[in-house]
């Protein structure tokens, strides 16, 4: 069984001077996950490690670097899915967690599938994950972006949202054919307090099923949620369809049905990689046994 791993660092209008940090951050994360797979580790650990790396990198809209909400605070969402068991775990609206993906995984391993806000943070503490001061999660680039929005508030309601920094995600298959997927985000720039997008919603932001493959989505969360994009993409793998084709079909459906913008990354049960996006750029990197890291943005 061939191992494979792909990460994304967000789909959107990534500015020219942000391209290199996005590409290098994605490359680093993919390599970290790959080392785990190549040493016989499982897909869950590979996905987790790759996403932690991007959550710690302020280039991305996840963990440290998350966009700030209208009150100037971080509110983060994450999800994790195990394609072997279909176990799934999500958290939303957390403010005091350094690496939300770690808590999403613990939720997945618990009796629940979704915990929010202070309940998710209390659960994290019970699991031995320390809470941190929310102010420590505010990266200088996120504060600067928030200040821009305070000075020039974006039009509301938004007709269409195209981010400039990226949600992060990873999909991997290990040597036993087990597929895992995860996604982590700070959500939308200058979002309404309490707003939750697609990333923590199983089926929308993340999906994995060993029988077909796995997917992680990025982009305009409200649109992605309405069409349950990741589950659509995984279902499109039926009849051994190539993940590139399935990803393209999913993004075409996102655009045609709800005018959505975004991207999706995929790995299928044969270890084939696929991705598609309809935004100006998407940061991504992937590895298979035959290809070293391919990173682009
Ligand atoms: N895709 C991330 C979000 O809209 O929150």
Catalytic residue positions? Answer: 167
* 79 Cβ closer than 6 Å to some ligand 1 atom: no
Average per-residue pLDDT for the chain: 95
* 221 Cβ closer than 6 Å to some ligand 1 atom: yes
* 167 Cβ closer than 6 Å to some ligand 1 atom: yes
CA distance 191 to 265: 25
Query: How far does residue 270's CA lie from ligand 1's centre (Å)?
Result: 29
Q: Is 265 helix (H, G, I), strand (E, B) or coil?
A: strand
Q: What domains can you pick out in the chain, each with its CATH number?
A: 4-296 (3.60.20.30)
Output the CA torsion sign for 23, 149, 116, 64. Answer: positive
pLDDT category, 67, cuts 50, 70, 90? very high
Pocket test for ligand 1, best of 220, 230, 251, 265 (most atoms within 8 A of CB): 220
* 42 Cβ closer than 6 Å to some ligand 1 atom: no
Query: How far does residue 161's CA lie from ligand 1's centre (Å)?
Result: 10
State yes or no: pLDDT of 165 exceeds 90. Answer: no
Query: How far does residue 38's CA lie from ligand 1's centre (Å)?
Result: 31
Kindly state the percentage of the chain with pLDDT values over 70: 97
- Per-residue pLDDT tens over the stretch 255-282: 999 999 999 999 999 999 999 999 999 9
State yes or no: pLDDT of 205 exceeds 90. Answer: yes
Among 96, 87, 99, 88, which residue's Cα sits nearest to residue 119? 96
State residue 237's pLDDT score: 98
State residue 1's pLDDT score: 63
Question: Which atom number of ligand 1 is nearest to the Cα of residue 219?
Answer: 1
State yes or no: pLDDT of 159 exceeds 60. Answer: no
pLDDT category, 163, cuts 50, 70, 90? low
Pocket test for ligand 1, best of 69, 221, 263 (most atoms within 8 A of CB): 221
- Per-residue pLDDT tens over the stretch 216-270: 999 999 999 999 999 999 999 999 999 999 999 999 999 999 999 999 999 999 9
State yes or no: pLDDT of 84 exceeds 80. Answer: yes
Instruction: Name every residue whose Cβ is closer than 8 Å to that of residue 68 and which is 6 or more positions away in sequence.
Output: 74, 138, 142, 143, 145, 146, 186, 189, 190
pLDDT category, 293, cuts 50, 70, 90? confident
pLDDT category, 131, cuts 50, 70, 90? very high
State residue 291's pLDDT score: 83
* 199 Cβ closer than 6 Å to some ligand 1 atom: yes
pLDDT category, 102, cuts 50, 70, 90? very high
* 166 Cβ closer than 6 Å to some ligand 1 atom: no
Which protein residue has the closest C-alpha to ligand 1 atom 4? 221
* 185 Cβ closer than 6 Å to some ligand 1 atom: yes
Torsion, Cα of 236, 240, 243, 245 (10° steps) = -70
State yes or no: pLDDT of 123 exceeds 70. Answer: yes
């Amino acid at each position: 069984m061939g191992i494979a791993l792909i990460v994304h660092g967000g789909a959107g209008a990534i500015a020219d001077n942000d391209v290199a940090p996005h590409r290098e951050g994605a490359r680093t994360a993919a390599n970290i996950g790959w080392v785990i797979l190549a040493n016989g580790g499982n897909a869950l650990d590979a996905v987790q490690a790759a996403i932690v790396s991007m959550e710690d990198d302020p280039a991305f809209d996840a963990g440290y670097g998350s966009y700030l909400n209208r009150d100037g605070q971080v509110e983060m969402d994450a999800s994790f899915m195990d394609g072997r068991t279909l176990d799934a775990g999500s958290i939303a609206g957390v403010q005091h967690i350094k690496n939300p993906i770690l808590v999403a995984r613990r939720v997945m391993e618990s009796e629940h599938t979704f915990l929010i806000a202070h309940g998710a943070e209390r659960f994290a503490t019970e699991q031995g994950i320390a809470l941190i001061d929310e102010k420590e999660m505010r990266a200088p680039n996120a504060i600067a972006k928030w200040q821009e929005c305070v000075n020039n508030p974006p039009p509301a309601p938004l007709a269409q949202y195209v981010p400039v920094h990226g949600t992060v995600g990873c999909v991997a298959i290990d040597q036993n054919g087990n597929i895992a997927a995860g996604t982590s985000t700070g959500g939308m720039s200058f979002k309404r307090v309490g707003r939750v997008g697609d990333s923590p919603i199983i089926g929308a932001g993340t999906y994995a099923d060993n029988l077909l493959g796995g997917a992680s989505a990025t982009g305009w969360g409200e649109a992605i949620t309405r069409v349950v994009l990741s589950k659509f993409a995984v279902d499109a793998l039926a009849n051994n369809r190539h993940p590139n084709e399935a990803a393209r079909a999913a993004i075409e459906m996102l655009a045609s049905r709800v005018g959505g913008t975004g991207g999706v990354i995929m790995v299928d049960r044969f270890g084939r990689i696929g991705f598609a996006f309809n935004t100006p750029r998407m940061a991504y990197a992937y590895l298979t046994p035959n290809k070293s890291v391919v990173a682009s943005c």
